[in-house]
Amino acid sequence: MAHLLPAKELRKTPRQERSRAMVERIIAAGQTVLLRDGYEKASTNRVADEAGISPGSLYQYFPDKEAILAAVIDRYAAEFSTQLTAVLADRLDEPGPALVRASFEGLLDVLTENIEFLRLVVEVLPRSQSGSWAGALEQRISDLVTAYLSINKSQTSITDPAASAWILVRMVEHLSVQYVLEQPPISRTKLIDEMVDLTLAYLGPTS
The DSSP-derived string for 147-194 is HHHHHTGGGS--S-HHHHHHHHHHHHHHHHHHHHHH--SS-HHHHHHH
Q: Output DSSP code: residue 91.
A: T
Residue type, 101: R
Residue type, 111: L
d(CA 104, CA 119): 19
Residue type, 2: A
What per-residue confidence (pLDDT) applies to 146?
87
What per-residue confidence (pLDDT) applies to 33?
92
Closest-CA residue to 101 (of 194, 173, 204, 201): 194
pLDDT tens, position by position, for the chain (207 residues)?
444 555 444 444 557 888 889 999 999 999 899 888 888 888 999 999 999 999 999 999 999 988 898 888 888 777 777 887 787 777 777 767 888 888 888 889 988 988 888 887 777 666 655 556 667 777 778 887 888 888 877 788 888 999 999 999 889 888 998 999 999 999 999 999 999 999 999 888 744
Hey, which bits of the chain come out as E strands? none
> Over the stretch 108-159, which tens digit does the pLDDT of each residue have?
998 898 888 888 777 766 665 555 666 777 777 888 788 888 887 778 888 8
Helix, strand and coil in the chain, % to nearest 5: 80, 0, 20
- Domains of the chain, each with CATH number or no CATH: 8-63 (1.10.10.60), 73-207 (1.10.357.10)
Closest-CA residue to 203 (of 68, 103, 114, 129): 103
- The helix-helix angle for 161-182 and 96-113 (nearest 10°) equals 40
